[in-house]
Structure 1
Amino acid sequence: MRDAVDLLVIGGGINGAGIARDAAGRGLSVMLVERGDLGGATSSSSSKLVHGGLRYLEHREFRLVREALAEREVLLRLAPHIVWPMRFVLPHVPDMRSRWMLRAGLFLYDHLAKRVTLPGSEALNFRNHPWGAPLNGAASHGFAYSDAWIEDSRMVVLNARDAALRGAEIRVRTSFAGASRDAQGWTATLTGPEGRTETVRARAIANAAGPWVMQALDGAGIPAPDRIRLVRGSHIIVPRLYEGDQAYILQNHDRRVVFVIPYEGRFTLIGTTDVPHDPASGPPRCTDEEATYLCDAVSRQFRRAVSPRDIVWTYSGVRPLHDDGAENPSAVTRDYVLKLDRSAAPMLSVFGGKITTFRRLAEDAATQLCAALGKGGRPWTAGSTLPGGDLGGLTPAQYLSEAGRRFPFLDAATLGRLFRCYGAELDAVLDHARSAAALGRDLGGGITERELAWMVDKEWVRSADDALWRRSKRGLHMSQGERLSFAEAFTVASHAA
């Protein structure tokens, strides 16, 4: 048996990766295990937003909104290459919510937390404002406000990378099979990529298994201290509906909201649904009913109607929400709850949460675990950029301009994509190449041999889907045949490595 680690983290989603990073930065020895790919489930299937949650104000979740708005500013600062400002347009539909209610909500949204980088809300007259052009005229007025976009799966990877740079061991394709404990710690059984089992000792466990948090508790022999509700959120991708960088937030007839967001240059992202998910039904998928629901929500307010025939891709994720007893899935809190069992060796379990507040969740978890282990260490992540996030005092636009001079052989679209993935690590990813030829063959979707080598060596890519759908979204820009060719090239390259 190998030497004991201070902390075993179960789950390689955003919460697990965030906890591993924070704990490693406080000096704990950390091992993270993920049974699939990093961010391979819920954390790569979000609406890709860092936001306070405007609609949560209706449920009086003021503390959650305030904390999320404050974290929005933190994440914009820590990872400006994968988190960036976005302006949202909210049409006013009189028979849903009154204009005074929307004004009051946006006033609170502007002032619940300090804004540093983002402009406040404003009223819009769609008869003379260009943002009204995509709409069908049912709403003559509306509002605009600010939130932020996030590359969700890359945020997971960057937290895992930073954890590894601080000494953590990251294990993908490794399942937590169970554990037993004594006063000194846990003896955990892991199942590796080829079915090999391994026993490790850990002084504490962080159960960040997301939708599988209850199974991890059961495997550790601990009665569940709380409950979760599994709610499916589905999204559809269609060809781009309008010009411009603005997003839309549409009030729907059932009082939910649907986001319409520019996506990957050529597409529009529409989501999300809130549907109870039965794990017995298998992996989450966007049902025909959900697709129709999202299409209808857009068609009611946009000039260009959307039908299921327009859909080029769908994705669904299961949100493991903390069960607060709310009857309506949309009203279930997006807040998180941490439960620490200290009856012997400590085990901390995560219930709920949202991507916007993952850093605060990880900070709370690491603080509790350090106290339980008698370890020191202070909160530190709010002031430390993630890999690629230190632009040397330049804005993203300024950094891109400088990068264009260093890599004149890359066209603007390719350079922009690479920057949005890697930020200030761009030079390292490209290995300071002086020509396109130095990057090797284009394996498909613009991913070169050099970039794929980085993904495999530094980002735990173990399959073609890891590269095409989570480390990048290049699969969306490729035909089925091109994706199959990429998979064949990946197999050859990984065997050669």
Structure 2
Amino acid sequence: MSDAAWPAPPQGSCTLPASVEAEVAILGAGIHGAALARELTLRGVTCALVDKGEVGGGTSQWSSQLLHGGIRYMLTGDIRQMREGLAERATWARIAPRRCRWEAFWMPHRYWAEGLAHRVGIGLYDHWGAERPGWPAGLSLGHVPKEAFLADPRGVLGPFRGATAYADLMTWDRELTRDLAASSEAMLLDFHEPEGFEQGDGGLKLLHLRDRRDGSARQLRARRWVFALGPWTDGAMAQWFGETRKRLRLSSGIHLWFDAVPGCERPWAIRRPKGRILFVVPRDGLLQVGTTEREVEDGWVPILEAEREELFGALEANLPSLPWREMLVWAEELGVRPLVAATGATTHLSREAVLERHARIPNLTLVLGGKLTTARALMDRLATDLTGLRCEASTTAPLRLWDGQAAEIR
């Protein structure tokens, strides 16, 4: 695991005692770990949330920042996964309205038959995703009028002849993860480095931790353990338990942030070869574009120059009216998606998740794969399995805001 993924901790120290205990210990304070902490709290179960960095500070802050059903699943035929995502999209709109924003995405087409296929497929997508709490009355879906399409700078000079609009939900993934943690009563052990486990007949008993802020030692005891480590799972299992089996394959994608372009008001989703989608999204006063995709070996990797070049080439081929190479790049990100291991190209691997009960450690569950949109539903299922308790409030209870964030609600 590269240390470059873990920035230096802040000043100060943890106020918890040197020895703490919880019913469930969660390692990994990304979207899945934070969602599980909320689910356990809703069920009245004590838990501890442990991370080497900060809450939402890893790959959960470098996603596409979309809560979506997966328009690409219309192309792959994975209708079940798409409909699950659409249902969860509505749940997020209910429980986190201050961290979500509905948008009408434009998917452009190059010729008449492609436009017809888009209208049929997108029509089904919006029909199955008709539950849209808080949908703005000013946004329209379906066929984009020609005058509106040509008024967008991206609609001229390029290969596209029109577009179809579909609904999806944009979010701020880091803030959403933090709000999930704030909606729990978990003992937060952020900036804590795991140094070793003690095991007994029933599995894991105790974890030795080192506070990265002041170097102090801490012990965590728990009856059940969940590793929600995202792309770092395989490396951690090798380091802590000497396991060499690869459970995941990692797929990276990059995002570049440009100056905003006048007239580019709607987010675009452009179909590319191999089932990929090129997003060009105006947000937060900038223009976000991405993503390319390659398989990587670590949970944090640098962006390759070839990836930037491939993305610039795609932008120039599809949207030649904008001077992409002359525009200032304000920021660039590379997110790594953990995909459940299988053969074939990562572009064709499912984004579904697996909850694996460890074969040798009976009180350990691993969260493998998954995505932002369905994290709550997956952790609802895991919490029910761990506790035997269902919780209807999971889909309705509003999230609390992370401390200090109230003035930054968008």
Q: Same fold (TM over 0.5)?
A: yes
Name 1:159's counterpart in structure 2: 180
| Aligned partner (choices 359, 381, 394) of residue 394 of structure 2 | 381
Q: Return the alpha-carbon distance in structure 2 between the equivalents of residues 224 and 61 of structure 1.
A: 31
Q: Return the alpha-carbon distance in structure 2 between the equivalents of residues 154 and 3 of structure 1.
A: 27
Q: Return the alpha-carbon distance in structure 2 between the equivalents of residues 198 and 258 of structure 1.
A: 45
C-alpha contact 1:178 1:188 (8 A) present in aligned 2: yes
Query: In the TM superposition, what is the alpha-carbon distance from 1:139 to its structure 2 partner?
Result: 1.4
C-alpha contact 2:275 2:347 (8 A) present in aligned 1: no
C-alpha contact 2:234 2:245 (8 A) present in aligned 1: no
Q: Return the alpha-carbon distance in structure 1 between the equivalents of residues 261 and 175 of structure 2.
A: 26
C-alpha contact 1:324 1:333 (8 A) present in aligned 2: no
Q: Return the alpha-carbon distance in structure 1 between the equivalents of residues 304 and 361 of structure 2.
A: 44
Q: Give the strand-richer structure, 1 or 2.
A: 2
Name 1:398's counterpart in structure 2: none
User: Is 1:108 matched up with 2:121?
Assistant: no
Q: What letter corresponds to residue 340 of structure 2 in structure 1?
A: H
Query: In the TM superposition, what is the alpha-carbon distance from 1:285 to its structure 2 partner?
Result: 2.6
| Aligned partner (choices 259, 270, 289) of residue 289 of structure 2 | 270
Q: What letter corresponds to residue 257 of structure 2 in structure 1?
A: I
Name 1:247's counterpart in structure 2: 267
TM-score, normalised via structure 1 length: 0.71
Q: Quote the sequence identity (%).
A: 26
Q: What letter corresponds to residue 255 of structure 2 in structure 1?
A: H
Name 1:430's counterpart in structure 2: none
Q: Return the alpha-carbon distance in structure 1 between the equivalents of residues 43 and 337 of structure 2.
A: 29
C-alpha contact 2:123 2:142 (8 A) present in aligned 1: no
Query: Structure 2 vs 1, CA of residues 161 and 313 (structure 1 numbering), >3 Å: closer, same or farther?
Result: same
Q: Return the alpha-carbon distance in structure 1 between the equivalents of residues 364 and 406 of structure 2.
A: 42
> What are the ranges of 5 or more consecutive residues in structure 1 without an aligned counterpart?
390-414, 421-497
Aligned residues: 383
User: Is 1:317 matched up with 2:307?
Assistant: no
Q: Return the alpha-carbon distance in structure 2 between the equivalents of residues 44 and 125 of structure 1.
A: 35
C-alpha contact 1:52 1:72 (8 A) present in aligned 2: yes
User: Is 1:196 matched up with 2:216?
Assistant: yes
Query: In the TM superposition, what is the alpha-carbon distance from 1:365 to its structure 2 partner?
Result: 1.5
Name 1:177's counterpart in structure 2: 195
C-alpha contact 2:267 2:281 (8 A) present in aligned 1: yes
Q: What is the aligned-residue RMSD (CA, Å)?
A: 2.7
SS in 1 for 2:164: strand
- Which has the larger displacement, 41-50 or 121-130? 121-130
C-alpha contact 1:260 1:269 (8 A) present in aligned 2: yes
User: Is 1:147 matched up with 2:147?
Assistant: no
User: Is 1:24 matched up with 2:14?
Assistant: no
Query: Structure 2 vs 1, CA of residues 309 and 419 (structure 1 numbering), >3 Å: closer, same or farther?
Result: closer
Q: Return the alpha-carbon distance in structure 1 between the equivalents of residues 209 and 326 of structure 2.
A: 42
Name 2:13's counterpart in structure 1: none
C-alpha contact 2:35 2:180 (8 A) present in aligned 1: yes
- Which has the larger displacement, 350-359 or 52-61? 52-61
- Which has the larger displacement, 238-247 or 122-131? 122-131
Q: Return the alpha-carbon distance in structure 1 between the equivalents of residues 116 and 228 of structure 2.
A: 41
C-alpha contact 1:24 1:168 (8 A) present in aligned 2: yes
Q: Return the alpha-carbon distance in structure 1 between the equivalents of residues 96 and 278 of structure 2.
A: 26
SS in 1 for 2:223: strand
Query: In the TM superposition, what is the alpha-carbon distance from 1:191 to its structure 2 partner?
Result: 2.0
Q: What letter corresponds to residue 249 of structure 1 in structure 2?
A: A
Q: What letter corresponds to residue 337 of structure 2 in structure 1?
A: R
> What are the ranges of 5 or more consecutive residues in structure 2 without an aligned counterpart?
1-17
Query: Structure 2 vs 1, CA of residues 308 and 160 (structure 1 numbering), >3 Å: closer, same or farther?
Result: farther
TM-score, normalised via structure 2 length: 0.85
SS in 1 for 2:117: helix
Name 2:379's counterpart in structure 1: 362
Q: Give the helix-richer structure, 1 or 2.
A: 1
Cα deviation, 1:99-153, whole Å, max 9, x if unaligned, reads 3332232122123344234477411243554554432242122211110110000
Q: Return the alpha-carbon distance in structure 2 between the equivalents of residues 155 and 251 of structure 1.
A: 28
Q: Return the alpha-carbon distance in structure 2 between the equivalents of residues 262 and 105 of structure 1.
A: 24
SS in 1 for 2:155: coil
Q: What letter corresponds to residue 386 of structure 1 in structure 2?
A: L
SS in 2 for 1:54: coil
| 1:328-343 equivalences in 2 (<5 Å) | 328-341=345-358
| 1:470-489 equivalences in 2 (<5 Å) | none
